[in-house]
Structure 1
């Protein structure tokens, strides 16, 4: 921390420490970084902080909901994005100029286990950031001031929020005693014009098809939940309208494409429970404290990516052949890890969770 506190930029006790937190993947990943962002926002040895979150276009809307974020910068990273843009000198030069103008004192790079923080660390060094902390399995040379090694400095199977918090702590940023480290977003808007409680949400879509329950199973669950006495709301993005219409059928209220991201948070906040795959809205539900029935495909480990710090029921075969493959499209015919789950199992899980406060 001496490097940070001795930064060349003239600082007084009242001047903020300018901190960059970079999370360059999706909305769900950004939400999981929220507790670390709040730690950075608390301040540093009596000095206030000003936190900027560098997010991808796929994560910016979540970044704007995180408590503690003062500014959001958006950039698509060629080494992080699932559909990466080509590497262009002009793009990197433009990003470098934007970062240099902000004159950051410190940067936190809380990447996931399959990502490298070092390309961004190099760019940050070149624009004058003197204190950089990151998680890195690879030797960083002079690129990092604080390096956390997965499996050495922390449990590599730790939940993603705890992984990011470990990095923040190592850099000198800690949550206050009254912050339990759960996921949070700023208070969502009222959504009474869309739906009134009580209801259960079914969110059938996922950015990776391997993580989605089949549409027919989702539709069957909506019918079964309705038959069990639940009012069912089906949510989805504008490009999922055909899917949500199919899943809602005649039994559910179709809100596909009808909510902004903050409004989606409001709809999830009002639900008794949310039925969703391992995708961004599962973490948004956790961030508003709503219990989650998690249809969890084991292509990534549940120990890292399951709904965090809320009551949840995990459904799906966690020992299936697709386990830990990180496949985006199911490699096994019939999608057995999720399609082995029945609508009746979902009804039972909702019955277990409905009305349970986080």
Structure 2
């Protein structure tokens, strides 16, 4: 009898004598989390090697003293196709050359290209001169010693597992995960206090406005949760202050806004104590899942292929298929489906998305709706087995 594997096998040979591994992955929170199973595979395949993440400044803050497969972080210079500079961050040409020289002095044995298709990232990695390079390659990118084709629509976790399999690293887990430490828990306790009843967190922001469910829908979910006895938090970054305010203002019940009050680690600790986190497809949604919280994720069209959950026991994915601008009707998916005739698009951006957002009420099956006007969001979560006993008394209060 033949069997098939549901995860990538190790497709390349282990490289002997590996002491230092560099992994280029310098983007945002969710992007890093999707790569954690691949990093765990590298750690298992090369247990004696030092794993260095070539990342962004936030990685240094988040991963410092945090147990996991990354031993240290080296911040890469901001550059087109790599990462944007942080506020106040400036690199001179001499700084960039010092970074490259220091990288060459490291004498990395393996360099893994996990940062997009490689048009910009592969030259950066190659400038450090690792003994062997491997990873993802788009048609417009330079070659690596070992590579697989970068394709637009592929589950992100599988994408990076396939990439590290090129150097003999077999999967040890499919689940993104991060460790929550004592400092994280203390930060969350200081800001949010100790839970006295089940908590529900809403995260209504997203970098791409097409992925934002309208704030009035989040407000309806918050009211439904509060009616069942939940303490409701609405989380967001400084840039999301407006949408967080719109959600809390639209709720009849009181809610606690937390805007730019917690570090990434503190936010993770807050989510650990939540019965459920309801969020758009953005970093905090994936952070909640990575620390074991139950989630309901709101996804726009093909994004669910790449970043949707693998399992439904604790995670529910709801999709919208709204493909056109609600203001002018123009197609807005050219970058998602570049080979289709999607028309010229439009530039209505956030204003258009804010009027319509992710239309789950129209597109989801009836039993999976979290609709406007007080629809039974918590009934959906309870029916689907998403709410577990994450807080004392949850079962007694009718949350399971």
Distance 1:215 1:121 in 2: 40
Change (3 A) 1:140 1:203: closer
Distance 1:262 1:73 in 2: 19
Question: 1:161 matched to which residue of 2?
Answer: 157
Question: 2:378 matched to which residue of 1?
Answer: 347
Question: 1:247 matched to which residue of 2?
Answer: 247
Change (3 A) 1:126 1:73: closer
Question: 2:329 matched to which residue of 1?
Answer: none
Instruction: State the secondary structure of the residue aligned to 1:144.
Output: coil
Instruction: State the secondary structure of the residue aligned to 1:54.
Output: strand
Q: Deviations over 1:98-136 (max 9, x none)?
A: 32232211111123xxx3314333343343212000111
Instruction: State the secondary structure of the residue aligned to 1:35.
Output: helix
Instruction: State the secondary structure of the residue aligned to 2:82.
Output: coil
Change (3 A) 1:329 1:3: same
Q: Deviations over 1:274-296 (max 9, x none)?
A: 10001000110110121211121
Question: 1:180 matched to which residue of 2?
Answer: 173
Answer yes or no: is the 8 Å Cα contact 1:133–1:146 preserved in 2: yes
Distance 2:291 2:30 in 1: 13
Change (3 A) 1:320 1:60: farther
Extract unaligned runs of 5+ from structure 2.
1-11, 325-331, 337-346, 362-369, 391-400
Question: 1:297 matched to which residue of 2?
Answer: 300
Distance 2:283 2:204 in 1: 12
1:127 aligns with 2:120: no
Instruction: State the secondary structure of the residue aligned to 2:268.
Output: helix
Question: 1:8 matched to which residue of 2?
Answer: none
TM-score (normalizing by structure 2): 0.72
Answer yes or no: is the 8 Å Cα contact 2:120–2:141 preserved in 1: no
Instruction: Report the Cα offset of residue 51 of structure 1.
Output: 0.5
TM-score (normalizing by structure 1): 0.80
Instruction: Report the Cα offset of residue 33 of structure 1.
Output: 0.5
1:334 aligns with 2:355: yes
The number of equivalent residue pairs is 334
Distance 1:157 1:238 in 2: 31
Instruction: Report the Cα offset of residue 234 of structure 1.
Output: 1.6
Extract unaligned runs of 5+ from structure 1.
6-10
Answer yes or no: is the 8 Å Cα contact 2:296–2:317 preserved in 1: yes
1:204 aligns with 2:197: no
Distance 1:180 1:3 in 2: 19
Instruction: State the secondary structure of the residue aligned to 1:286.
Output: helix
Matching of residues 1-358 of structure 1 within 5 Å: 4-5=15-16, 17-44=19-46, 48-57=48-57, 60-61=60-61, 67-75=68-76, 76-81=78-83, 89-90=93-94, 92-111=96-115, 115-138=116-139, 143-150=143-150, 157-175=153-171, 179-188=172-181, 189-190=184-185, 191-193=188-190, 194=192, 195-196=194-195, 198-249=198-249, 250-298=253-301, 300-309=302-311, 311-318=314-321, 320-321=323-324, 322-323=332-333, 325=335, 329=350, 334-338=355-359, 340=361, 342-343=371-372, 344=375, 346-351=377-382, 352=384, 353-355=386-388
Distance 2:140 2:233 in 1: 49
